[in-house]
Structure formats: C-alpha cells, structure tokens
Amino acid sequence: MGFQSLVLIVIVLLVSAATNQAIPVDINDPHVINVATFAVTEYSKHNTEANLIFEKVTNGVSDVTENGTNYRLTLSANDGSTSNNFSAIVLENPADNFTLTAFALIPHA
C-alpha cells in the first residue's frame, strides 16, 4: 500500500471520528500533555525506528463517548534531527487507562 493511500485512510478515519460534539482542549493542560506524551511513547514502542521525542501539543479536541474520553490531538515530535507534526487519537477510559487509536504523520502542506 502506497503512502498516499495510507494518508487518505488516516484522513478518512480522522474525519469519521470527528462526527461527535468535540470541544477544544487547552494545549497547555498537563493532562492533555500527558495524553500526547503517551501517544508518542506508545507509538515509538511499536515503531522502534521512529524513536520520537514529544515536543508540544499544537491543537486538539476531546469528546466524551460511551467508552471514555476521546482525544484527537495535533502534536509535534522530533526524531532526533527533524521536527514533524503528527495527529494522534487517544481514548481514555474511565479507569484512567489510555489507548492509542491512531497516530499518523501530517505531511508538509
């Protein structure tokens, strides 16, 4: 599968996940930063070649679903030489447990 179609699938996922009533998050909220750090750490755990260091949250929304709070964040992370933007979806269940649902590089505009 080519990179283009992968990007397309992620965009479709993000758009379909965006149908709930989402509210913007405070990108400086320590809890939001916690969620973003989890996403980067979890992604790096399963993609050892990525080896990303979380930098900051640039944008984000959250919405409450039957399974917990869903965070859709845009964040920047550094692979050791370059900084890139990523989009991440993390579900936080009522037991304060995070699940990484999606993580994808946002290509340069």
Ligand X SMILES: *[C@@H]1O[C@H](CO)[C@@H](O)[C@H](O)[C@H]1NC(C)=O
Return the residue of 66, 86, 92, 102 that touches ligand X, per CB under 6 A. Answer: 66
DSSP code string of 40-74 = HHHHHHH-TTT--EEEEEEEEEEEEETTEEEEEEE
Task: Give the footprint of ligand X on residues 9-28 (CB under 6 A).
Answer: none
Give yes or no for residue 58 binding ligand X (CB under 6 A): yes
Minimum CB distance to ligand X, residue 105 (Å): 9
Give yes or no for residue 97 binding ligand X (CB under 6 A): yes
Binding site for ligand X (CB under 6 A): 58, 65-67, 76, 83-85, 95, 97, 108
